[in-house]
Amino acid sequence: MKKVLLLYRNAFGGLSRPAWMLSLIMFINRSGAMVIPFLGVYLTESLGYTLKEAGIILSIYGLGAVSGSFLGGWLTDKIGHFKVQLFSLTVGGSLYFMFLFLEEFQYIAAGVFILSLVNDMLRPANSASIAHYARPENVTRAFSLNRMALNLGFSIGPAIGGLVAAISYKYLFIGDGVASMMAGLFFFIYFRKRQGHKPQKAAATAAAVTEKVRSPYTDGMYLVFILLNCGFAILFFQLLSTLPLYYRQVYVLPEGRIGTLLALNGFIVFLFEMILVYLLGDKIKKAWLIPAGVLVLGSSFVVLNLGHHTSLLYMAMVLLSFSEILVMPFMATISVERSNDRNRGSYLGLYTISYAAAHVVAPYLGTTIASRYSFDTLWWTLSVFAIAVSIGLYFVVQHMERERLSGKTRITANEAGVTVS
């Protein structure tokens, strides 16, 4: 037991106080995450829309997320991550209340787009904030801490949401809105007087003048990486789109059981991510860890086709959760390592856009295949797609890691006064 406690202590040790505070704020925000996991069920069960119509609404949410991620990354470099995060948390939280009055398809579609646009401005700004406040040697663990807080909150939000939805789906919007605004208030109180949340200005030195700031949109290898990350996210976001519908329509699970299954994902990531990142991060190359995690995700879809028993649902969720642990923290680290203080918002904005774009494709793809063919066909299709994404990520991440290490070698040699050809 002492060894286990020491392991947890080492895994969490050395992280800065602002990194902990950012994680606490995201925990508060995600503890109210009740709407998105149940949005598809709300549209079909409560408002009577078809599976395809629900998929369109969920894809529109993704379109808003793409726009918000781009805008959030651009604004982070222009006005700083503090203002962007504060706006997203407070204004985004207030927008949930408008859904208490929306029932027509076109109004729901417009409301979902605006809500996701404002909410997803938070992601690149929050990532830039984590990278800024984290110590260089702890960047991956700082991102893992933040994700641990998100997942702990996500283990609470859907579980409560399942109970609330059984009473009235309308209360989901109230709970999500209140939690977001509370997180915004806490964020403002703690970070309003701290240095470091202003946009980075180029230093007036010869080096700064001659150095060209690279744009992620002209970084060819990074663009391929982003495309493959989007592929992974399309697979992963079945968690928030087709899986709840699958639980409801195929297994006829009540809202409480659906919430419990979704909460299991957050609980597993909360328990194990920091430990596994601490144990594996410096020992196994990202080029092996990330593709392995994608294959684990593909295997979770295979499990769903092995029979018809609720135990298979839990087994698939466990595999999906460990896939998340092996992939997401290291993907974020690659984006941080590829950027610098003057373009980090843009790089992390594009990284976030890859997830937001997946929010567009994942629900539409999933609901279209499931409604036209079957859920079984959907799971087999996704498992094959996971193999292709895994192979692509292996080669791309390996190439990017070689570039990074080569760049470090050149810098070290130049600092030592050695000419490197």
3-state SS of the chain?
CHHHHHHHHHHHCCCCHHHHHHHHHHHHHHCCCCHHHHHHHHHHHHCCCCHHHHHHHHHHHHHHHHHHHHHHHHHHHHHCHHHHHHHHHHHHHHHHHHHHCCCCHHHHHHHHHHHHHHHCCHHHHHHHHHHHHCCHHHHHHHHHHHHHHHHHHHHHHHHHHHHHHHHCCHHHHHHHHHHHHHHHHHHHHHHCCCCCCCCCCCCCCHHHHHCCCCCHHHCHHHHHHHHHHHHHHHHHHHHCCHHHHHHHHCCCCCHHHHHHHHHHHHHHHHHHHHHHHHHHCCCCCHHHHHHHHHHHHHHHHHHHCCCCCHHHHHHHHHHHHHHHHHHHHHHHHHHHHHCCCCCHHHHHHHHHHHHHHHHHHHHHHHHHHHHHCCHHHHHHHHHHHHHHHHHHHHHHHHHHHHHHHHHHHHHHHHHCCCCCC
Predicted pLDDT at 206: 40
Q: What is the model's pLDDT at position 197?
A: 54
> For residue 263, which phi and psi values (nearest 5 degrees)?
-65, -30
Q: Do domains 16-193 and 217-415 have the same CATH topology?
A: yes
Domain 217-415: which CATH number of 3.40.50.620, 1.20.1250.20, 3.40.50.300, 3.10.129.10: 1.20.1250.20
**Predicted pLDDT at 158:** 72
Q: Render pLDDT for 232-252 as a digit per residue (tens, 0 to 9).
A: 999 998 987 889 889 988 898
- pTM comes to 0.71
So what's the pLDDT on residue 2? 67
| Closest-CA residue to 270 (of 148, 132, 101) | 148
**Centroid of chain to Cα 298:** 18
Query: Which pLDDT score, from 0 to 100, does residue 196 have?
Result: 56
Alpha-carbon gap, residue 170 to 167, rounded angstroms: 9
Query: For the chain, what are the domain ranges?
Result: 16-193, 217-415
pLDDT of 8 reads 62
Per-residue model confidence (pLDDT) at position 420: 36
Using an 8 Å Cβ cutoff, are 374 and 55 in contact? Answer: no
CATH 1.10.1040.10 describes domain 16-193? no
Q: How far apart are CA 88 and CA 123, in angstroms?
A: 9
The predicted pLDDT at position 235 comes to 94
Residue 297 has what pLDDT? 96
Residue with the two structure tokens 């498992």? 383
Which residues lie below 8 Å from residue 81, measured CB to CB, with a gap of 6+? 125, 126, 128, 129, 132, 197, 345
Question: HSE-up of 28 (CA within 13 Å, CB side)?
Answer: 19
Q: Which of 272, 396, 388 is nearest to 335 (CA)?
A: 396
Phi, psi values for residue 285, rounded to 5°: -65, 145
Distance CA 337, CA 45 (A): 45
Of 24, 273, 270, 8, nearest in space to 141 by CA: 273
Tokens of 382: 């996704």
User: Would you say 38 and 169 are in contact if contact means Cβ atoms under 8 Å apart?
Assistant: yes
* Contact (Cβ atoms closer than 8 angstroms) between residue 55 and residue 368: yes
pLDDT < 70 stretches in the chain: 1-14, 136-137, 195-213, 281, 341, 407-421
